[in-house]
Every structure is written in C-alpha cells, then in structure tokens.
C-alpha cells in the first residue's frame, strides 16, 4: 500500500469538481484515507511548493493556490502515486490525454484543477504538511 497527497485546487473547488475528482480516484480502486477543506495563506502555499521556489511561476502559483478554499486528501492504494498522476493527466492540459481530469476540466497550465505528489519523497513531505497521523485512517 502506498499513500499520496492530492489537492482539489481553488479552480476545481470553484467549478464544483470536488466530487468528480474523488469519484475518479475511487473508480480506479483508490481509497480516501483523509480529507479536509481549508484555505492556504500565501505563506502556506509558498511552504507547500518550496521545491519550486526558483521557478518563474512560483509567485503566480502561490497566489493562485491561496486565493480560495481547497480540498486536501490522502489517497491510499496500490501504486497510488502513479495512478493519481495518470488520473490527473499532464501539467499542461494541452498535453493531457483525453479522459484525464486536466484534459477534461483545466483551463491552462497554472489553473489545472488538481495536485498529486510526484514521488514517495514528495508524498512524505506533503502528507504531514496537512495531516497528523491521527487524521489518516
Ligand atoms: N505551473 C505553472 N506553470 C508552469 C508549470 C507549473 O503555473 O510552467 C503550476 C501548475 O499549477 C502545476 C504546479 O505549478 O500544477 C506545480 O508544477 P509541477 O511541475 O510540479 O506540476 P504537477 O506536478 O502539478 O503536474
Ligand atoms: Mg509537482
């Protein structure tokens, strides 16, 4: 079993896609082990995306991620990190395979509806960023 951190980003919440994202994970046999709605401050978003601090999109991304409520969740199952990334689709919706969340719903490379950890290492930073062990069941 493997765990990953997924987020329905502010654009996904605004577009009423919380249920749609969860449904796609569950339909692939993945389980939601923790879930909550919250709003990041700009500093929270900067901390979460600290790996991207040198990237040209860091300022804009962290403003976007703190502009409205998000849903954070721990997703659990076999090969969850890879499966969630497949269900999400490529970062840029123009490159995403039809039938993926980003292909179906994202408006551009920044406003791309959903986040998923890209490795075991990032999952082990991102999950405790939002959840204590008591909150993961
Ligand atoms: N992003 C952006 N411009 C880019 C690349 C990424 O605005 O050129 C945003 C986008 O919201 C993306 C996030 O920054 O989801 C994190 O980038 P990453 O390369 O980690 O993509 P992901 O892992 O989310 O597919
Ligand atoms: Mg990433």
pTM: 0.98
> Which residue matches tokens 């601090």?
53
pLDDT digits (tens, 9 = 90+) for 100-114: 999 999 999 999 999
Which of 99-105's residues contact partners 24+ apart within 8 Å by CB, and which partners? 101/17, 101/20, 101/21, 101/24, 105/12, 105/15, 105/17, 105/20
Nearest to 117 by CA among 1, 26, 2, 6: 6
Identify the residue whose C-alpha is closest to ligand 1 atom 22: 91
Active-site hit among 7, 30, 115, 126 = 115
pLDDT digits (tens, 9 = 90+) for 36-55: 999 999 999 999 999 999 99
CA of 6 to the centre of ligand 2 (A): 11
**Alpha carbon distance 77, 30 (integer Å):** 5
């Amino acid at each position: 079993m493997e765990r990953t951190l997924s987020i329905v980003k502010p654009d996904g919440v605004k577009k009423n896609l919380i249920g749609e994202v969860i449904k796609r994970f569950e339909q692939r046999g993945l389980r939601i082990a923790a879930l909550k709605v919250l709003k990041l401050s700009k500093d929270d978003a900067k901390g979460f995306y600290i790996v991207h601090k040198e990237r040209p999109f860091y300022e804009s991304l962290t403003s976007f991620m703190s502009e409205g409520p998000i849903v954070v969740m721990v997703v659990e199952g076999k090969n969850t990190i890879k499966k969630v990334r497949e269900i999400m689709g490529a970062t840029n919706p123009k490159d995403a395979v039809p039938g993926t969340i980003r292909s179906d719903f994202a408006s551009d490379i920044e406003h791309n509806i959903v986040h998923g950890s890209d490795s075991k290492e990032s999952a082990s930073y991102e999950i405790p960023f939002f959840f204590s062990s008591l909150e993961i069941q």
